[in-house]
Structures are given as structure tokens and as C-alpha cells.
Amino acid sequence: MTSGPTFRWRLAAMASIACGAFWALAFAATHIPAEKVPHTGLSDRTLHFAGYFLLAGLLTASLAGFGVRPLRRGAAVILVMMAYGALDELTQAFVNRGVSFGDWLADLLGAITAVAAAGLVALALARRSAQ
């Protein structure tokens, strides 16, 4: 496996592109007018949790690749997801969709879970490389 800054920056760039693409897709999906939202068979809260888990995970990977330290990275991702989740909920009113505090909490829980999972993976990798 290749190491060094070049490989790390490539991974960071790929994570950033994936994050940006998913973020744009998620924004579009959450702003479909209420009457045109397709039924997925999953609960709305499950979709919120999963979407923000993936979005926060991609943002965390991107920031990690660019060398942002773990505590700052985790705090930044959670704060960004809190703010974006609130903005996302508030702007849904413009397309005849409901604003829901419960949805925002599901967003936040998904983001926190992703940051915690990324932290555990980073810890495991650090311990493995130290051996």
C-alpha cells in the first residue's frame, strides 16, 4: 500500500468529491415537493439518520485526509451537521414539506454516530500501526 502525503491527499480529494456529490443529491432529495416524494418503505427518521450518517462520514473522511486533528474534526463535523440539518428542515417549508424537530434530532444522531464510528476506526488503525 502506498503511503505519504500524495496518497493521503488523493484519498482526501476523493472523499471531498464524494461528500460534495452526496450533499448535492441529499439537498435535492430533501427539497422534492411533498406530493412528489416517492414511498421508500423506510421510515422518515431512518432515512434522516442514514443520510446524515453517510454525509457526516464522508465529511469526516475528507477532513481526516486533509490532516484535521480528531477532536477538531469531530466537533467541526457535528457543528456543521447541526447547522445544516436545521437549515435543511427550515427550507423544506418552501416546498410544502413539514419542519420537524424529530427529523433534525435523527440527523444529529446519524452525524454523531458517524463521527464516533470514525473515531473508533481511527483508534483501531493507530493501535494496529503501533504494534
Q: What are phi and psi of 67, to 5 degrees?
A: 90, 15
Provide the pLDDT for residue 9: 85
Locate 67 and state its grid cell.
Answer: 490532516
pLDDT at 3 over 60: no
Q: How far apart are the first and last CA of the chain?
A: 17
pLDDT at 15 over 90: yes
Q: Are 43 and 100 in contact (CB under 8 A)?
A: no
Q: Are 103 and 44 in contact (CB under 8 A)?
A: yes
Q: How does pLDDT run across 63-79, given as a tens digit for each residue?
A: 998 989 999 999 999 99
CA distances from 80 to 11, 28, 33, 56, 73 (A): 21, 18, 25, 9, 10
Provide the pLDDT for residue 96: 86
pLDDT at 85 over 80: yes
Average pLDDT over residues 52-56: 98
pLDDT at 1 over 60: no
Classify residue 95 by its DSSP letter. G
Domain ranges within the chain, ordered by starting residue: 5-32+41-130
pLDDT at 4 over 80: no
pLDDT at 44 over 90: no
User: What's the pTM?
Assistant: 0.89
